Amino acid sequence: MTARILVIDDEPQIRKFLRISLTANGYAVNEAANAAEGIARARAELPDLVILDLGLPDMDGQEVISAVREFSAAPILVLSVRADEFDKVEALDRGAGDYVVKPFGIAELMARVRACLRAQAPKAADEVIAIGGLAIDLARRVVSRDGVEVHLSKKEWELLAAFASRPDHVLTHRQILKEVWGPAHVEDTAYLRVYINQLRQKLETDPSDPRILVNDPGVGYRLKLSE
């Protein structure tokens, strides 16, 4: 089934470039030139993915993320000239799935689109995520490396499962802490680092050079599907 993508951007040249590139990669594309039109189209058409510029003429794109999240769980991929960590963290905390800074390469953008759609796809009950010699069995709650089971504590498994349910998807520190430890712990980033390091010791070939649980400095972490 062809994935439907809604592009919300006020620059006609960007919309044209994205329409041509996305269509060439097999996606069905709709467009909106401002926030009001974009929110209305997202509500009416229920796209599989929204590509959103933050610098819209009628509303800040951050508000658009919140508005779309009121009625849709579709992944939102932000494209923006804003490279500040604060903007990235705010967008991800509001519910964006990924954040790409303009200018961007089309190959990278297509990879991010695929990752967002893949993270949104329903998981089979018996799905096993394989990364090199590592296998994560979500149904059986079993992790193995090169065929040997890796023992994880309950909290380590919950942390890993949060990433494995959305592979190649950046999760902010606050998202992870709220999901795994609860709302009272959203500021406990030092605590999160301890558990990330524990997981890396058990999962990574070289914990000092992580290739599976990778970080986006100042923003969060993601489970990278290829070592």
Asked if the 128-223 domain carries CATH number 1.10.10.10, the reply is: yes
* Whole-angstrom distance, CA of residue 173 vs CA of residue 129: 23
**Could you tell me the two tokens for 27?**
């996606």
Contact 142, 164 (CB under 8 A): no
Nearest-angstrom CA–CA distance, 128 and 181: 25
Across the chain, mean pLDDT equals: 90
Per-residue model confidence (pLDDT) at position 178: 87
- Contact status, residue 93 vs residue 65, Cβ threshold 8 Å: no
Calculate mean pLDDT across residues 96-114.
91
Name the residue type at position 150: V
pTM above 0.75?
A: no
pLDDT tens across 25-82, in order?
Answer: 999 999 999 999 999 999 999 899 999 999 999 999 999 999 999 888 899 999 999 8
Q: What is d(CA 17, CA 112) in angstroms, rounded to the nearest whole number?
A: 16
pLDDT of residue 216: 85
Q: What strands, in cross-sheet order, belong to the sheet with 134-137?
A: 128-131, 134-137, 142-145, 148-150
Question: Strand 220-223 relative to strand 213-216: parallel, antiparallel, unpaired?
Answer: antiparallel
Q: Where are the domains of the chain?
A: 4-120, 128-223
Number of CB atoms found within 10 A of residue 74's CB: 21
pLDDT at 24 over 60: yes
CATH 3.40.50.2300 matches 4-120: yes
Helix or strand run (H / E) with residue 67: helix 61-69
Q: What is the structure's pLDDT at 151? A: 95
pLDDT, residue 217, reads 83
Judge contact between 31 and 19, C-beta under 8 A. Answer: yes
For residue 133, is pLDDT > 80? Answer: yes
Percentage, residues of the chain above pLDDT 70: 96
Q: Please state the φ and ψ torsions of residue 110, each to the nearest 5 degrees.
A: -65, -35
